[in-house]
Amino acid sequence: MSVNVSEFGSLNDGRIIHKYTIQNKNNVSASVITYGATLTEIWAPDKNGVFKDILVGFDDIEGFIERTDYQGVIVGPYANRIGNSTFTIDGTQYNLVANENKITCLHSNGEFNTAVWNAEIVDDSCVAFSYMSPDGLNGFPGNLKVCVKYSLNDENELKLEYSAVSDKKTVINLTNHAYFNLGGYDSGTILNHRITINANKYTPVDDFSIPTGETADVENTPFDLRNETKIGELIDADCDQLNFTGGYDHNFCINGYDGSVIKAAEVTDPESGRTLEVLTDLPGVQFYAGNFLKGVIGKSGVPMVKRSGFCLETQFYPDTPNHKNFPQCTFNAGETFNSTTIFRFSAK
């Protein structure tokens, strides 16, 4: 195991952005930069032992500043959407920045992914990234101390360990927004990938992608992904839920959620054999199939076309503070949020 540090570029104010690369004995590696604590590269072998970078994203800091669709970033204080950009805690209403359609608050107005995080090498397999979110920024209450540890083991498991604590009662919902293409970032769309999601239910949304509050059965719908399914098979089916979001962009309610780390999803690229398993201790996972990628230029000059990457964002459900029937994510002052997500890589 080893950790290598290099420069990734600089911001207009002169601050240097560093890249930390963790590599295991199998030559599998993961790279994270201090801008947004962003996961920029994962190199993994196919069934023939050929390594490729399986993350869709950018080669330079300018891409993450100017053209990003949240590729690889840490999202918070509240990942995903909050309806009408408002929520209430103990009778106090908090009004957030409405950065999506001037109505919803999406990914907390991009706070975490535009911040420069502090980084510390913990050991030869782990790097910790930390950030302080100030009270009131984008409308969220509390000074929030956040740490995300990235570690890689010799079983080809990339572990993300999140912790956060605020000095005021607040909502906390953190995730990583990596876009995967298991054929390699330059291999076209992910429509031929096969996906399995361990969920009997999902959260339907309205035409602004805000949950209705219902948890609906996936059976006999395009959201029944409990058995291995080709992503492209039903992604364009004529139903309101897919029409609202242009394809899959929904939260799935993970079966067996009890706060322990369990398997949420698995995706395989049949051509390369590369397989990703996602494990988490959170109640939901947002499956997003890259419906809104519009061909911006990414790594090696390759355009990120529609559906050239998929996301599996482990999370509390979207808009949880406004739906008391959802598993809740409001934390008291001084109460620590802890969560673990594991991305496990193999080849079939």
Tell me the pLDDT band of 101, cut-offs 50, 70 and 90. confident
Name the percent of the chain lying above pLDDT 90: 98
Question: What is this structure's pTM?
Answer: 0.96
Q: 2 burial class (0-12, 13-18, 19+ CB within 10 angstroms)? A: exposed
Q: What is the set of domains in the chain, with CATH numbers?
A: 2-347 (2.70.98.10)
pLDDT tens, position by position, 63-85:
999 999 999 999 999 999 999 99
pLDDT tens, position by position, 284-317:
999 999 999 999 999 999 999 999 999 999 999 9
Amino acid type, 174: L
**Residues 162, 173: Cα–Cα separation, whole Å:** 10
Tokens of 290: 């890259």
- The set of catalytic residues is 177, 313
Q: Which residue has the tokens 């199939």?
A: 289
DSSP state letter for 314? E
* Residue 193 DSSP SS3: coil
pLDDT tens, position by position, 119-133:
999 999 999 999 999
Q: 88 burial class (0-12, 13-18, 19+ CB within 10 angstroms)? A: exposed
pLDDT tens, position by position, 133-170:
999 999 999 999 999 999 999 999 999 999 999 999 99
Q: How far is CA 146 from CA 112, 172, 188, in A?
A: 10, 10, 35
- pLDDT of residue 39 exceeding 90: yes
**Residues 282, 173: Cα–Cα separation, whole Å:** 10
DSSP state letter for 107? G
**Residues 178, 160: Cα–Cα separation, whole Å:** 12
pLDDT tens, position by position, 193-241:
999 999 999 999 999 999 999 999 999 999 999 999 999 999 999 999 9
Q: Is the link from the previous residue into 222 a cis peptide, with omega within 30 of 0?
A: no
**Residues 36, 56: Cα–Cα separation, whole Å:** 16
